[in-house]
Structure 1
Amino acid sequence: MTQSLTDLICPLDGKPLRLNERSWRCEDGHSYDVAKQGYVNLLPVQNKRSKDPGDSKAMVQARREYLEQGYYEPLARALANTVLAEGDQAVLDAGCGEGYYLRYLVEQAEQKGIDLRVAALDISKWAVQAAAKRDKRLSWMVASNNSIPLDDNSVDTLLCVFGFPVEAEFKRILRPSGRLIMLDPAADHLKELKVIIYSELKSKNETLPITDSAFELTSEQQVTFPVSLASNQAIKDLLTMTPHLYRSSAEGRERIEALSSLELTSDVWVRVFSYEN
């Protein structure tokens, strides 16, 4: 059975939030309405670095179109198997995007009879809107990893999928002996796309994404598989959903426009860090 993780705290004063009909409220009177799509915005204006932070509406749409074709299903499967090896647990997806990997995880948990309590956040309002529309059972939040609106020691497993870890906050919300599971690009990830859009390729730094000694790397798996894109639209969706869109040259984007198919390599690290408080 899947339930929402409801150990939410107020982003302004850190006090517990309680759901009262369609609003989350703390004892100091701060109130946050649940949007019609089923999410709550817990990112105060003063904590935003821009007017519309995170992935744009176009990036979210492109990612949804791309991922729903199943191109990255081997990666979603590897992540789900890693998470569910520990049985029943409370999970936070810290940087959930439009929710593809989390939905796959929840589906696998229900097939296996594993109980999850789940929350998810992303700094992009567009991403959380898209995610919440698909599954209203989970606690979907617009929020930042710099200030996670969850109580201390409330999470067993924290997911950071192609995201930005904030070690101090991750330590605060994880329970003792909790896990941080990270997905990060390995050296050959999308190398065929990079050859097209960049004039020169830089070698990738393969250092670990976590440096705090409280986190111990307990396992790592390199998930490598081919991806065949058979249309220009799929290629453009892939480019649009990644930071490469903004880093690529005009000439590189023109070369992308001329392609009708592309054979790619997906190469990703799935790493598990244990946390000892």
Structure 2
Amino acid sequence: MSWSCPLCHAPLTRSGNSYCCPHRHQFDMAKEGYVNLLPVQHKRSRDPGDSAEMMQARRAFLDAGHYQPLRDAICAKLDEIKPAQLLDIGCGEGYYTHAFAEIAGHTWGLDVAKNAIRAGAKRYANVDFCVASSQRLPFEDNCMDVVVRIYAPCNPEELARVVKPGGWVITVTPGPRHLVELKGLIYDEVQLHAPHSETLPGFTLQTHDALAYPMQLSGAEAVTLLQMTPFAWRAKPDVWETLKGQEHFDCQTDFAIHAWQRSED
């Protein structure tokens, strides 16, 4: 199996350092080994995704092991399934993806951020990386045994299209008290995350697991964590300064891990 053309959905065939479809749409491989399958007309901004600075900060935070229990929990589920083909949507620089590749037969990593994909491709040779939109997955129908989606948005119709009958989607979303201490610095009244309410047409929710544990962070790590959250833009300058000056910042995680199975049809 290989990529499919993001413009016409025909299969892409590799020739040298390029991928081409029967309609002569061509996509060149970067020197780092990834392929950019995000046409200009599919971009929502000039340079979508996180900046290089944000990507590097996130990498340092993840490499410190703060989210390793989450990675281990997903790997345990994958070890039960033993997928031959796995896609990680919103893979970033590949912190989770390369661990999945130790279990899956063939692992693909997709993200809209070129900086993150470039870094991942340079670091992890056991993953096929691409820059692409999660709204238009560049893969053929019924080709994936497992799709992993950690926080990343995706078109549910695309999930139903690319996952094999009987295959799986594993999603991670924030639990009610995820990063509640961090939110307490930003909001006058902290609202807990709403209970899970997602549905995936064509899939049945088979398991729902909660994972929660405390983290003790340095001030710099707390700043990086805030940068990684969707509520960073609400943080006033004094919040950033307060975090930077902290010797220790205690913060709890609360993850909801869902395993969905596609119906056999």
Which of the five TM-score ranges fits, normalised by the shorter chain?
over 0.9
Letter in 1 for 2:210: Q
CA distance in 2, matches of 1:137, 1:257: 36
- 1:249-260 to 2 correspondences below 5 Å: 249-260=236-247
In the alignment, which residue of structure 2 is the partner of 1:84? 79
Out of 217, 231, 235, the residue aligned to residue 205 of structure 2 is 217
Partner of 1:205: 194
CA distance in 2, matches of 1:197, 1:47: 34
CA contact (8 A) 1:226 1:265 kept: yes
- TM-score scaled by length of structure 1: 0.91
* Whole-angstrom distance in 2 between the partners of 1:91 and 1:188: 30
Q: Does the Cα contact within 8 Å between 1:11 and 1:147 map onto a contact in 2?
A: yes
Question: CA-atom RMSD, angstroms?
Answer: 1.4
Q: Which amino acid aligns with 1:47?
A: H
Deviation at 1:163, TM superposition (A): 1.0
Q: Percent identity over the alignment?
A: 35
Q: Which residue pairs with 1:245 in the alignment?
A: 232
Q: Which position in structure 2 is the counterpart of 1:227?
A: 215
Please give the TM-score of this superposition, normalised by the length of structure 2: 0.95
Q: Is the 8 A contact 1:197 1:251 kept in 2?
A: no
1:103 equivalenced with 2:98 (yes/no)? yes
Per-residue CA deviation, residues 34-81 of structure 1 (Å, 9 max, x unaligned), is: 111111100000000111112222221111000000111111000100
| Aligned AA (2:205) | L
Write the deviation string for residues 84-140 of structure 1: whole angstroms up to 9, x where unpaired: 211242100011011111112223x2xxxxx51111100111111111111133220
Q: Which residue of 1 aligns with 2:159?
A: 170
Q: Map 1:14-93 onto structure 2 (within 5 A).
A: 14-93=9-88
Q: Distance in 2 between matches of 1:133 and 1:87?
A: 26
Larger relative contact order, structure 1 or 2 (CA cutoff 8 Å, min sep 6): 1
| Amino acid in structure 1 at the alignment position of 2:244 | E
Distance 1:11 1:124 in 2: 16
AA of the residue aligned to 1:198: Y
> 2 CA distance for matches of 1:63 and 1:212?
29
Residue in 2 that maps onto 1:112: none
Instruction: Give the residue type in structure 1 aligned to 2:53.
Output: A
What's the CA shift for 1:263? Answer: 1.0
The letter for the 2-side match of 1:31 is Q
> 1:174 touches 1:275 (CA, 8 Å); kept in 2?
yes
Q: Deviations over 1:132-170 (max 9, x none)?
A: 111133220100111000011110100001111310010
CA-CA distance at 1:213 after TM superposition: 3.7
Q: After the TM superposition, which of the residue ranges 258-267 and 71-80 deviates more from structure 2?
A: 258-267
Letter in 1 for 2:68: E
Following TM superposition, by how much is the alpha carbon of 1:197 offset from its aligned partner in structure 2, in angstroms?
2.6
Task: Give the secondary structure class of the aligned counterpart of 2:135.
Answer: coil
Which segment is superposed worse, 249-258 or 168-177? 249-258
Name 1:158's counterpart in structure 2: 147
Contact 1:198 1:252 survives alignment (8 Å): no
Question: SS in structure 1 opposite 2:160?
Answer: helix
Structure 1 Cα separation of the partners of residues 200 and 92 of structure 2: 25
Gaps of 5+ in 2: none
User: 2:209 is matched by which residue type in structure 1?
Assistant: Q
